[in-house]
Amino acid sequence: FEPQTLTILGATGSIGLNTLAVAAQHPERFQLYAVTAHSNVTAMEQICREHKPRIAVMADVHAAADLKVRIADTSVQVLSGQQALADVAAAADMTMAAIVGAAGLMPTMAAVMAGKRVLLANKEALVMSGQLFMNAVVEHGAILLPIDSEHNAIFQCLPVAAQLSLGDQSLTTAGISKIILTGSGGPFRELPLADLAHQSPQAACAHPNWSMGQKISVDSATMLNKGLEYIEARWLFNCQQHELDVLLHPQSIIHSMVRYTDGSVLAQMGEPDMRTPIAYGLSYPDRIVSGVKALDFEQVGALTFCKPDPERYPCLQLAQDACWQGQWATTSLNAANEVAVAAFLNQRIRFTAIADVCAEVVGRIEAQELNSFEAILSVDHQARHYAEEIVEKYAVC
Ligand code: NDP
Ligand code: MG
């Protein structure tokens, strides 16, 4: 067969680099079309020299100018700006959507609207636009493959018919009674509650099982990440409220589960390493080597499970509530969280203030229908504005 062309949005990030690593093991299958980043020119230069894409896009204009000079001796074409991001996302056979945060929405949508195979890591895009995103997938005949490890696990445990009609079919039709999202509980799972307020960005980013970008690492510590994943699962798998649960599983060996009406529970297991879901997304329905070592059950020992403690993880409850309140609530929660996490990483607010900022922002946004991307971006903008104000109130210095 012909190799498939691949665009990686967010190539310099944790998911982006893992995608490059998996694709490079299979040059007969994948041909790198374009890679994108925001402003990290050094990382991008190295990617261009090692992986030789046709196009490199820097969202930042100055970074693009810098990159152009640095790689003038190569044949890589350098572009910049939002239109270029959308163009390369739409042009390849498959696009890995791995920009972090709301910035990924429009480039990811460009791939969806071009009817391409879309590997979705950028959960914020789906959280922000839910129904509109899933409608566009169906309307434009895009093939959506979830890369978030939990959703990838669930996808792997679905019947083929349900895999091929993501977001469309009811779970009942597929004989499914529940989707069970598992999560480790992050680095602060056993910390005394009184100590949470004094945790540093470095401690929050030190995840016990997964190595990831900073924003998602903080989201894992607050468990807002599981909350965003709850919303993501609702849209991907067309869940009703009673069909979706969250369970703590500290070992991160089971990546999520599907409970069927006949009493069967299917779980996907593996090392906590994103190269497995990435490889699955790249090669589906085939299986390819990912470079991840085989799971050693004797070394793993016990697998344990418990309920998440609502006092420790208020952000999880906020997200679960927002999920069923309406699109305005999840869009504004996502925006508020991005601002709050950035403020925490810059040591402007305490770890525990992230939940306070999120709750206050969602409380201030008016309930409303969001029926267009313009309306979504407008609420995102307003929520960020409120969040900046509220961050000032919680600022530590
Ligand atoms: P990183 O922070 O490691 O990487 C983010 C990437 O996005 C970088 O390439 C960055 O470029 C680019 N980027 C950041 N801001 C912009 C912007 N404004 N415009 C264009 N590009 C931008 O993130 P991760 O790889 O950890 O996460 C990426 C996405 O995948 C997130 O949505 C996350 O939730 C999701 N995900 C990640 C997992 C993981 O294991 N890391 C697991 C499951 C989901 P630059 O380097 O130039 O700043
Ligand atoms: Mg995940």
This model of the complex carries an ipTM of 0.99
Mutation test residue for ligand 1: of 15, 67, 106, 149, the one with most atoms within 8 Å of CB = 15
The answer on whether 337 is annotated among ligand-binding residues is no
> Considering the chain, what is the average pLDDT of its residues?
97
Q: How far is the CA of 157 from the centre of ligand 2 (A)?
A: 16
Atom of ligand 1 nearest to the CA of 101: 32
Residue 85 scores a pLDDT above 80? yes
- Note the pTM of the prediction, 2 decimals: 0.98
pLDDT at 113: 98
Q: How far is the CA of 100 from the centre of ligand 1 (A)?
A: 3
Mutation test residue for ligand 1: of 7, 99, 123, the one with most atoms within 8 Å of CB = 99
DSSP one-letter code for 93? S
pLDDT at 168: 83
- Ligand lying nearest the CA atom of residue 181: 2
Residue 388, helix vs strand vs coil: helix
Alpha carbons 97 and 107: distance in angstroms, whole number: 8
pLDDT at 1: 79
Q: pLDDT band for 78, please (50, 70, 90 cuts).
A: very high
15 lines ligand 1 (CB under 6 A): yes
Query: How much of the chain is helix, strand and coil, in % rounded to 5?
Result: 50, 15, 35
Alpha carbons 225 and 212: distance in angstroms, whole number: 12
Alpha carbons 90 and 107: distance in angstroms, whole number: 8
Closest protein CA for atom 45 of ligand 1: 38
Exposed / middle / buried, residue 235 (Cβ in 10 Å: 0-12, 13-18, 19+): buried
For 238: left if phi > 0, alpha if psi spans -120 to 50, otherwise beta; the answer is left
> b or e along 186-204 (b: 16 or more beta carbons within 10 Å of the residue's beta carbon)?
bbbbeeeeeebeebebeeb
pLDDT at 167: 80
Mutation test residue for ligand 1: of 17, 42, 83, 100, the one with most atoms within 8 Å of CB = 100
| pLDDT tens digits along 10-54 | 999 999 999 999 999 999 999 999 999 999 999 999 999 999 999
Alpha carbons 116 and 236: distance in angstroms, whole number: 17
Nearest to 122 by CA among 96, 154, 89, 155: 96
pLDDT at 173: 93
Residue 169 scores a pLDDT above 90? no
| pLDDT tens digits along 370-397 | 999 999 999 999 999 999 999 999 999 7
Query: Residue 228 pairs with which residues in a beta bridge?
Result: none
Alpha carbons 163 and 184: distance in angstroms, whole number: 26
Exposed / middle / buried, residue 310 (Cβ in 10 Å: 0-12, 13-18, 19+): exposed
> b or e along 55-82 (b: 16 or more beta carbons within 10 Å of the residue's beta carbon)?
bbbbbbeebbebbbebbeeeebebbbee
The answer on whether 13 is annotated among ligand-binding residues is yes
Residue 121: CA atoms inside 13 Å, Cβ hemisphere, count?
29
Atom of ligand 1 nearest to the CA of 39: 47
| pLDDT tens digits along 52-68 | 999 999 999 999 999 99
Atom of ligand 1 nearest to the CA of 212: 41
Atom of ligand 1 nearest to the CA of 43: 46
Place of tokens 């599981």: 226
The token duo for 283 is: 């090669």
* Contact predicate 226/239, CB 8 Å: no
18 lines ligand 1 (CB under 6 A): no
